[in-house]
Amino acid sequence: MPELPEVETVVRGLRKIIPGRVFEAVKTNAPAASIVISPSFKRKTLNSVIKGRKVLSIDRRGKNILINLAGDVTLWVHLKMTGKFLYVDRTQPKHKHDLVFFDFTPHTKDDNGLHLRFNDYRRFGRLRVFPNDELWQQPGLANLGPEPLDLTANDFVELCKRRARMIKPALLDQNFIAGLGNIYADESLYVSKIHPRRLTDTLSRRKLTELHGHIQRLLRASIEHMGTTVVSHAGVDGRSGSFQNFLKVYGSEDQPCDHCGGNIIREKIGSRSAHYCPRCQRLR
């Protein structure tokens, strides 16, 4: 699933092309469950709700993309496993996994003829439209934890000390901290030499401060490299990320640890997998 750096890459790509543009038409080829329209719009379609609305801005909250439209309406997108936006020539042949097509009103005489497509071969992605006064009451947004890049070290320590829980599941909990997933949780725990089962209340303030610093450093570095492409992540321009070339532990099961030469293992913790080095990340 795309995590904070991958979603931020998409958001930054969208910010370059669609603010100020007006939706001319929206065509869908998506499963009914993929598109959610607020009941306030009285069963209108995605096209009828956003057609004619201008894109004002694009924001990110955790792993969510928020496209703010004129008239106090937000198009809220979650990429889930394989969703992505592509800005391509509208004459390009349609792919069977292109699920939504966004055409814009020409804004110059020499309009470039490009349009936006939402592509999702696993079809788990979600596009939702809500009035702004309803948006932040919705499950998936209402209870999100703080942004890891905005969180101070002291606040992170206090967050971890509130109650005892295993550190890896805590980092994956979007209500605890928003935007992290398996990749950056595994990588930050590895460089901090913290076992993923370690209880949060047993970690010292110094160790938690170190972990906080590594989380922020890894996220910023990944954003600079347009994220990590493991399966299908790509920016709006179709370019893949390159941070996978810098990963030390995620996806490296049975490979030697950079620090000690021992084997990296993959273990299920809770309902999710964790990659770590049992020598360097000892469970004390």
Question: Which residues are tagged catalytic?
Answer: 2-3, 63, 272
Query: How many C-beta atoms lie closer than 10 Å to residue 32's C-beta?
Result: 7
CA distance 139 to 88: 32
Q: Are 86 and 236 in contact (CB under 8 A)?
A: yes
Listed in order, strand segments (DSSP E) in the chain are 23-28, 35-37, 55-61, 64-69, 73-78, 84-89, 98-104, 114-119, 126-131, 265-269, 272-276
Q: Which residue is it, tokens 């490979």?
A: 255
Within 8 A by CB and 6+ apart from 70, the residues are 53, 54, 56
| Total residues found in the chain within this entry | 284
Distance between CA atoms of residues 101 and 147, nearest Å = 31
Given a contact cutoff of 8 angstroms between Cβ atoms, the answer to whether 47 and 129 are in contact is no
Report the alpha-carbon distance of residue 20 to residue 39 in Å, rounded.
27
